[in-house]
């Protein structure tokens, strides 16, 4: 059975709250799991953020984000790897279940997407020993193909799993419904992820029709076209029964609303449509 845990990715309340305010708001509404972003942690300080997590008994389902590996020079690629090593340390300090990787797109003016994907694999390989030593699993998050050029050249669960198979233990996938719901091979890919024991996170929101912004117009669960219950059933059949993490970027809607309203709506929708 599912443990029915709702986690709030703190991007969802970015318009209203910083880290400490978001924790207080989540706790008021009975949410005890969060997934912060690195800039939110940096704004309050890593030590203070970790203290807030510990003192409130919070579960940190992920830290967003590492990644962005491709670059058009060896020096820049090394700087990206060094930033990822710092991200591992931050995730370890917060006790995060995983460090989420948004892997990056084409470097510079390149049109070589296969080369970019190799840079991704090489970058993860370079950070993986530190991640293993720190006890921080790395979760590759495949993004919708509309982001292939600028944000993530890994666009399907199967592509992410191929990298995992190449690299071995300590790396898996974050399954975000916004990015994978369209995939005709979705059921088989999720089943494969389960067989290979690679599912590290499950992110939820909805795809609105029409979508007015390709990055900042995600929908609240139930307001769009994604069959959330069906995807969750696939994920649970694959053996993952962990939290569902709400991650909504919504510049013109949810980011303009009071934080308590946002979290309360997430809790209600989690109970009714997820």
pLDDT(246) > 60: yes
In the predicted model, is pLDDT for residue 186 greater than 50? Answer: yes
Which residue ranges form the domains of the chain, and what is each CATH number? 6-273 (3.20.20.150)
Q: What's residue 4's pLDDT?
A: 80
Mean pLDDT across 132-144: 98
Please report the pLDDT score of residue 272 as a whole number.
96
Model confidence at 64: pLDDT above 60: yes
**In the predicted model, is pLDDT for residue 2 greater than 60?**
no
Give me the percent of the chain exceeding a pLDDT of 90: 99
Sign of CA dihedral 2, 187, 104, 198: positive
What is the pLDDT, as a whole number, of residue 1?
42
- Nearest residue to 202 (alpha-carbon basis) of 56, 134, 65, 100: 100
- Give the model confidence (pLDDT) of 29-60 as tens digits: 999 999 999 999 999 999 999 999 999 999 99
pLDDT, residue 3, reads 66
Confidence of residue 118 (pLDDT cuts 50, 70, 90): very high
Q: Which residue has the tokens 């975000």?
A: 176
For all residues of the chain together, what is the average pLDDT? 97
Question: What does the pLDDT look like over 192-201, one tens digit per residue?
Answer: 999 999 999 9
This prediction has a pTM of: 0.98
Name the percent of the chain lying above pLDDT 70: 99
C-alpha span between 85 and 5 (Å, rounded)? 29
One-letter-per-residue 3-state SS of 113-181: HHHHHHHHHHHHHHHHHHHHHHCCCEEECCCCHHHCCCCECCCCHHHHHHHHHHHCCCEEEEEEHHHHC
């Amino acid at each position: 059975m599912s443990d029915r845990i709702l986690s709030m990715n703190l991007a969802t309340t970015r318009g209203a709250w910083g880290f400490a305010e978001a924790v207080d708001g989540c706790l008021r509404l009975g949410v005890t799991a969060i997934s912060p972003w690195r800039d939110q942690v940096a704004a309050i300080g890593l030590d203070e953020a970790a203290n807030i997590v510990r003192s409130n008994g919070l579960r940190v389902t992920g830290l967003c984000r590492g990644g962005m590996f491709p670059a058009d020079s060896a020096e820049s690629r090394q700087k990206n790897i060094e930033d990822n090593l710092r991200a591992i340390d931050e995730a370890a300090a917060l006790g995060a279940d995983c460090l989420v990787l948004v892997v990056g797109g084409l470097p510079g003016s390149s049109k070589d997407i296969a080369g970019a994907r190799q840079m991704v694999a090489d970058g993860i390989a370079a950070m993986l020993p530190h991640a293993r030593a720190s006890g921080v699993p790395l979760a590759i998050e495949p993004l919708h193909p509309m982001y292939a050029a600028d944000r993530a050249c890994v666009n399907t669960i199967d592509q992410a799993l191929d990298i995992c198979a190449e690299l071995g233990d300590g790396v898996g996938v974050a399954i975000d419904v916004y990015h994978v719901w369209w995939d005709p091979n979705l059921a088989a890919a999720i089943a494969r992820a389960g067989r290979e024991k690679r599912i590290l996170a499950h992110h939820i929101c909805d795809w609105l029709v029409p979508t007015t912004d390709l990055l900042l117009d995600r929908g609240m669960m139930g307001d769009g076209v994604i069959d959330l219950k069906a995807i969750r059933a696939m994920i649970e059949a694959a053996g993952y029964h962990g939290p569902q993490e709400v991650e909504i970027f919504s510049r013109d809607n949810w980011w303009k609303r009071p934080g308590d309203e946002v979290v309360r709506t997430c809790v209600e929708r989690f109970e009714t449509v997820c």
